[in-house]
């Protein structure tokens, strides 16, 4: 009998955060049952950047070798002016990230990372129930009782809401306002590098910054594909929760306005776009927003953030690691373990949320602010672009 055999963790949501939490718990011999509302996992989503703070955790979860098979490891991050094409600053990644932070900076397709986590969780014996949506729960003195949409009754020691931006677990736990529309629309695309002219292929992360817009592109799938994301300002689509629908090149080009020939050629090389509306929440202000009683929130269910620090999935994976560490602590009630998790995580998540909002303002700056940004980046480059407090090992 393992020391956690009396414990049963129920996780709602089989995305990157939910699977990472399931794997991290299973690695510590904590029994896990995971509910995923879709009937089967589909290859959806776009590219994802993971800094050393995240790759370090994935390595600790035993995924280092598998990650190396599907990811790309860019040697640098370059910032450019969207209108002039001028290089504003360059941050070396590659060997520098490994040397400074003990782990590499990686870029990969979200579905590839999801697949790694899914297979590893299954290999660890996680009970994954597909086509199951949690609808409500109640806490008793000794256990949490949950019910699915299909009427299935489940019992657990703890419930983890990892069910995304529109979290139903959060709604029942906190009963707060829905996520807010940021006023930003993101268009994403994946392009085969082999089908691009040689001068448009890339092995680095490039960020183009302009008035009320920015574009980022980087290699995925071992460098064979290029992920391109363009973010512009616009009105909220009719269906706010439909995060991914057909986006049109004409609409994107109109929203981008005048950009330089280098970026225009890059955008014109994309055959088709998908669009989603960017939603977030105000930065967390207390631990109680992440855990109460036997229920805790993780990832986007707790702290959805704007994509301007490339840490949405990263913070979910950090959450997963700390959650499992806290749940494996000896001589503490489950409720106390979840409060310890929330106490460790809320302020760091809040800091990342706030920095992502700030970065968005800088990326999309106009006029004097944009001139100041460009001058500062030319003078200070790597010092401004690096984030040691985020990537370091002491969070």
Q: Comparing 16 with 42, which gets the higher pLDDT?
A: 16
Residue 193 covered by a domain: no
Q: Please determine, for residue 148, whether its predicted confidence score (pLDDT) is greater than 90.
A: yes
Q: Does some domain include residue 243?
A: no
Can you read off the two tokens belonging to residue 153? 């009754």
Mean of pLDDT values over 261-272? 94
CATH assignment of the domain containing 309: 3.50.50.60
Q: Answer whether residue 367 shows pLDDT above 50.
A: yes
Give the pLDDT of residue 50.
Answer: 97
Residue 129 falls inside a structural domain? yes
The boundaries of the domain holding residue 147 are 9-44+110-178+282-362
Give me the chain's average pLDDT, please: 93
Give the burial class of 41: count Cβ atoms within 10 A of its Cβ; 0-12 exposed, 13-18 middle, 19 or more buried: middle
For the record, the structure tokens of 95 come out as 């060997």
Q: What are the backbone angles phi and psi of residue 129, rounded to the nearest 5°?
A: -105, 110
The structural domain count of the chain equals 1
Q: Each residue of 155-199: pLDDT tens digit?
A: 999 999 999 999 999 999 999 999 999 999 999 999 999 999 999
Cα 391 to Cα 100: distance, rounded to the nearest angstrom: 9
**Token pair for 321:** 């690691």
Domain presence at residue 233: no
The more confidently predicted of residues 295 and 384 is 295
d(CA 357, CA 180): 13
Mean pLDDT of 293-318: 97
pLDDT computed for residue 1 by the predictor: 35
pLDDT value of position 2: 46
Whether 81 and 131 have beta carbons less than 8 Å apart is answered as no
C-beta separation of 127 from 33 below 8 A: yes
For the beta carbon of residue 154, count every other beta carbon within 10 angstroms.
18
Residue 333: inside a domain? yes
Q: What secondary structure does DSSP assign to 198-253, as a single string?
A: GGG--SSEEEEEETTEEEEEEEETTTTEEEEEEEEE-PPPS-TT---EEE-HHHHH
pTM, full prediction? 0.95
**Nearest 10 degrees: CA dihedral of 191, 197, 200, 203?**
70
Distance CA 301, CA 290 (A): 9
Q: What b-and-e string marks burial along 187-225, b requiring 16 or more CB atoms within 10 Å of the CB?
A: bbbbbebeeeeeebebebbbbbbbbbbbbbbbbbbebeb
- Domain-located, residue 33: yes
Asked if residue 201 is part of any domain, the answer here is no
């Amino acid at each position: 009998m393992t020391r956690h055999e009396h414990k049963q963790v129920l996780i709602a949501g089989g995305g990157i955060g939910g699977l990472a939490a399931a794997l991290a718990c299973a690695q510590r011999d904590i029994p896990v049952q995971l509910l995923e509302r879709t009937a089967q996992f589909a290859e959806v989503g776009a590219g994802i950047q993971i800094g050393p703070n995240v790759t370090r955790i994935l390595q600790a979860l035993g995924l280092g070798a598998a990650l190396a098979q599907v990811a790309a490891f860019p040697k640098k991050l370059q910032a450019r002016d969207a209108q002039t094409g001028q290089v504003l600053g360059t941050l070396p990644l590659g060997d520098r990230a490994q040397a400074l932070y003990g782990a590499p900076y990686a870029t990969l397709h979200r579905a590839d990372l999801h697949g790694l986590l899914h297979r590893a969780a299954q290999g660890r014996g996680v009970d994954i129930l597909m086509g199951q949506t949690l609808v409500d729960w109640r806490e008793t003195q000794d256990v949490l009782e949950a019910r699915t949409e299909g009427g299935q009754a489940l019992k657990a020691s703890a419930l983890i809401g990892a069910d995304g931006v529109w979290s139903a677990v959060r709604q029942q736990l906190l009963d707060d306002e829905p996520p807010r529309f940021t006023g930003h629309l993101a268009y994403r695309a994946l392009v085969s590098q082999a089908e691009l002219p040689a001068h448009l292929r890339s092995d680095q992360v490039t960020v183009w910054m302009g008035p009320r817009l920015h574009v980022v592109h980087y290699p995925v799938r071992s460098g064979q594909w290029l992920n391109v994301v363009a973010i512009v300002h616009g009105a909220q689509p009719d269906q706010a929760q439909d995060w991914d629908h057909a986006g049109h090149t004409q609409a994107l080009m109109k929203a981008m306005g005048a950009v330089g020939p280098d970026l225009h050629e890059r955008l014109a090389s994309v055959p088709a776009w998908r669009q989603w509306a960017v939603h977030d929440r105000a930065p967390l202000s207390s631990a109680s927003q992440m855990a109460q009683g036997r229920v805790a929130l993780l990832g986007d269910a707790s702290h959805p953030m704007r994509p301007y620090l490339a840490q949405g999935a990263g913070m979910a994976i950090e959450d997963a690691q700390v959650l499992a560490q806290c749940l494996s602590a000896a001589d503490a009630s489950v409720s106390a373990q979840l409060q310890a998790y929330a106490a460790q995580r809320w302020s760091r998540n809040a800091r990342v949320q706030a920095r992502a909002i700030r970065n968005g303002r800088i990326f999309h700056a106009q006029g004097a602010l944009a001139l100041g940004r460009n001058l500062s980046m030319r003078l200070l480059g790597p010092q401004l672009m690096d984030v040691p407090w985020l990537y370091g090992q002491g969070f």
